[in-house]
């Protein structure tokens, strides 16, 4: 079994090799001749992007996702609409009962 020092040396050697490969690829002045763009292909980033693209293909609706959607999308919209309706109805009631003079009304030119 390798000792912790050997594990640390192996990690350092792998990291140095990756760093050397990265700099060799990024600073290659002739990369355009091979059709390369000078970027390094990152397998982890490619997997992440593929996962993001295919997320909806593998989505399974559950009760938890339904609750999250209701609490973050539907409920705030419905609550805001209800507050607007209540405030406008109260203002309209004040206008109709004469509690607010015509010169003090909001939106009287619409």
Per-residue pLDDT tens digits for 42-99: 788 899 999 999 988 888 999 999 999 999 999 999 999 999 999 999 999 999 999 9
pTM for this one? 0.51
> Which pLDDT value is given to residue 10?
96
Instruction: Please state, in angstroms and rounded to a whole number, the distance separating the CA atoms of residues 105 and 94.
Output: 10
> Which pLDDT value is given to residue 7?
96
> Which pLDDT value is given to residue 37?
63
Give yes or no for residue 28 having a pLDDT over 90: no
> Which pLDDT value is given to residue 107?
79
* Largest pairwise CA distance in the chain: 90
> Which pLDDT value is given to residue 29?
78
Contact 95, 105 (CB under 8 A): yes
The enclosing H or E element of 73 equals none
């Amino acid at each position: 079994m390798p000792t912790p020092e050997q594990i640390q040396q192996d990690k350092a050697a792998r990291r140095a090799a990756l760093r050397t490969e990265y700099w060799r690829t990024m600073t290659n002045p002739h990369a355009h001749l091979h059709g390369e763009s000078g970027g390094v292909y990152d397998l982890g980033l490619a997997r992440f992007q593929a996962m993001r693209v295919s997320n909806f293909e593998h989505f399974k609706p559950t009760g938890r996702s339904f609750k999250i959607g209701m609490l973050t999308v539907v409920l705030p919209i419905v609550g805001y609409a209800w507050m607007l309706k209540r405030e406008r109805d109260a203002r309209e009631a004040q206008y109709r009962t004469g509690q607010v003079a015509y010169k003090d009304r909001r939106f009287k030119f619409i």
